[in-house]
Amino acid sequence: MTQILLVEDDTKTAEFIKSGLSEEGFSVRHAADGKSGLDHALASRFDAAIVDIMLPGLDGLHLVERLRDSGSTMPILFLSGRKTVEDRLSGFKAGGDDYLVKPFSFAELVARLHALLRRSQPLSEQSLLTVADLELDLLSRKVFRGGQEIELQQREFSLLSYLLQHHGQVISKMMILKQVWEYN
């Protein structure tokens, strides 16, 4: 299960995010101030962090700077009411990977979190596409369903690969023809 660290001092916002992310299949640990957020981040492994900037004690910018100084490469999304270009640039300069302004769309928060996680995966993990019990390994060109290997022809593999890479998206017949059959 994907582990997320949420550092947010506003109780209602934190509960909203924690509840929503839990429903999306994430495991969330919450810290209500910068110091405890930094302690959690240094003591445990998280796949990503969502950090408010205006925090009691240690603010989010300094928290992230300290994490980066310690060698952490964990993806970090700033979530803040501070919305000027200068504020966002300060977030990136401190070491943040993304910045979302409050009020925010929860769907956008989840999409940005998925994008951060996808970009942070090692190449070997990115080569494995999984939907339910169907797994496709792009490097070994093998397909498994429920743990059993399925032998596919080259074109079948290309089609399944394309469909899995675009899982949850609407794909037109023309897109499939162009990508799988190289039809112009």
Q: What is the pLDDT of residues 121-171, one digit of tens each?
A: 654 455 778 888 898 888 778 899 888 889 999 899 989 988 888 887 888
User: Starting at the edge strand that comes first in sequence, how are the strands of the sheet with 134-137 ordered?
Assistant: 128-131, 134-137, 142-145, 148-150
- State the residue for tokens 């339910």: 132
The better pLDDT of the pair 152, 178 is held by 152
Q: Flag the least confident range among 18-22, 56-60, 146-150.
A: 146-150
The first and second tokens of residue 167, run together, are 């899982």
pTM of the model: 0.67
CA–CA distance, 142 with 152 (Å, rounded to integer): 8
Question: What pLDDT, on a 0 to 100 scale, did the predictor assign at position 129?
Answer: 82
Question: What pLDDT, on a 0 to 100 scale, did the predictor assign at position 45?
Answer: 86
CA–CA distance, 25 with 15 (Å, rounded to integer): 15
Residue 36's SS3 state is helix
Above 90 in pLDDT, residue 66? yes
What does DSSP assign to residue 166? T
Question: What pLDDT, on a 0 to 100 scale, did the predictor assign at position 123?
Answer: 47
Phi–psi pair at 50, nearest 5 degrees: -115, 120
Name all domains of the chain by residue range, CATH numbers in brackets. Answer: 3-120 (3.40.50.2300), 124-180 (1.10.10.10)
Nearest C-alpha neighbor of 29 from the set 56, 63, 5, 50: 5
Q: What's the mean pLDDT in 17-40?
A: 94
Name the burial class of residue 19, with classes exposed (0-12), middle (13-18) and buried (19+) by CB atoms within 10 angstroms of its CB.
exposed
CA–CA distance, 34 with 78 (Å, rounded to integer): 13
What does DSSP assign to residue 58? S
Q: Residue 35 — pLDDT band, cuts 50, 70, 90?
A: very high
Instruction: Give the end-to-end CA distance of the chain in Å, rounded to a whole number.
Output: 41
* Cβ neighbours, 10 Å, residue 16: 13
Cis ω before 103 (30° cut-off from 0): yes
Question: What pLDDT, on a 0 to 100 scale, did the predictor assign at position 184?
Answer: 62
